[in-house]
């Protein structure tokens, strides 16, 4: 019983921060310095607001937002917990060049924990199932979600908008960093899924405050 109580106490002292966002094709190279600075400021703000808790980052390690946040968190001394959409052997087939594969392997090596499907889990499955399962596993542990989003629709199931919607339905705080515009971070309130037209109106309302 004492050991169980210790484990529960340790879990209560941990703050899990998830990351979702776009691949490089929707994150302009010119915006990367701004986004890096915004991530540092956002993660530092979370840490400051929760001084009694140990912050950890949950990341899928895909190209783009996932890796940008992972490198930032590691640089700040946060442990990294990787949650992969596919087994690492299958996942790295999606990366276009040796540099990207090297980034992925370096982050895997730096991760404190790695959660991944079995080697052949993907066989016979639509790729979107992997991203949906990864997002679901991340949100089960996540207390705060950071989203690097351009404000537009997702291009497939399990995309950024779907993850944001799921987090909001579950009452998870979402901090939105705009992927393409130099706007200050915004906190998105919990709520049910909404259409894109209403969502844009809501975001304009948030921006005024």
Q: Is residue 99 part of a domain?
A: yes
Looking at the 3D structure of the chain, how many domains does it have?
A: 1
The pLDDT of residue 39 is 98
For 158-172, write each residue's pLDDT tens digit.
Answer: 789 999 999 999 999
Q: Tell me the C-alpha distance between 112 and 197, whole Å.
A: 40
Q: Is residue 81 part of a domain?
A: yes
Number of residues that make up the chain? 209
For 60-93, write each residue's pLDDT tens digit.
Answer: 999 999 999 999 999 999 999 999 999 999 999 9
Q: Is residue 5 part of a domain?
A: no
Range of the domain at 173: 12-207
Q: Tell me the C-alpha distance between 82 and 143, whole Å.
A: 16
User: Is a pLDDT exceeding 80 seen at residue 114?
Assistant: yes
* Nearby residues of 76 by Cβ (< 8 Å), 6 or more positions away: 40, 43, 44, 47
Q: Is residue 7 part of a domain?
A: no
Type and span of the H or E element at 16: strand 14-21
pTM as predicted: 0.86
Q: Is residue 33 part of a domain?
A: yes
Higher pLDDT pick, 56 / 189: 56
Per the listing, tokens 């340790």 go with: 10
For 33-59, write each residue's pLDDT tens digit.
Answer: 999 999 999 999 999 999 999 999 999
Q: Is residue 26 part of a domain?
A: yes
The pLDDT of residue 123 is 78
Share of the chain above pLDDT 90, in %: 73
Alpha helices in 76-126 (DSSP H): 88-91, 98-110
User: Is a pLDDT exceeding 90 seen at residue 153?
Assistant: no
Token pair belonging to 70: 């992972």
CATH label of the domain that carries residue 62: 3.40.50.450
Q: Tell me the C-alpha distance between 208 and 185, whole Å.
A: 12
Q: Is residue 3 part of a domain?
A: no
Q: Is residue 48 part of a domain?
A: yes
| Pair 133, 125: CB distance under 8 Å | no
Q: Whose CA is closest to 32, among 69, 58, 60? A: 69
For 5-36, write each residue's pLDDT tens digit.
Answer: 443 455 579 999 999 999 999 999 999 999 99
The dihedrals phi and psi of 56, each to the nearest 5 degrees, come to: -135, 145
The pLDDT of residue 126 is 82
């Amino acid at each position: 019983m004492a050991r169980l109580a210790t484990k529960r106490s340790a879990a209560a002292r941990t703050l899990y921060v998830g990351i979702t966002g776009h691949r490089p094709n929707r994150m302009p190279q010119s915006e990367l310095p701004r986004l890096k600075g915004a991530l540092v400021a956002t993660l530092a703000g979370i840490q400051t607001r929760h001084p009694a808790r140990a912050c950890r980052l949950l990341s899928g390690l895909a190209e783009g937002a996932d890796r940008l946040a992972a490198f930032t968190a590691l640089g700040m001394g946060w442990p990294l917990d990787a949650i992969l959409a596919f087994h690492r052997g299958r996942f790295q087939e999606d990366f276009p060049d040796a540099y990207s594969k090297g980034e992925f392997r370096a982050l895997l090596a730096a991760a404190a924990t790695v959660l991944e499907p079995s080697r052949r889990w993907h066989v016979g499955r639509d790729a979107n199932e992997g991203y949906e399962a990864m997002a679901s596993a991340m949100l089960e542990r996540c207390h705060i979600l950071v989203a690097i989003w351009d404000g537009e629709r997702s291009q497939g199931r399990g995309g950024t908008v779907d993850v944001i919607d799921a987090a909001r339905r579950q009452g998870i705080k979402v901090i939105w960093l705009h992927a393409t515009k130099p706007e200050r971070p915004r906190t998105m309130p919990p709520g049910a899924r909404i259409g894109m037209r209403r969502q844009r109106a809501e975001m304009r309302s948030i921006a005024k405050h």
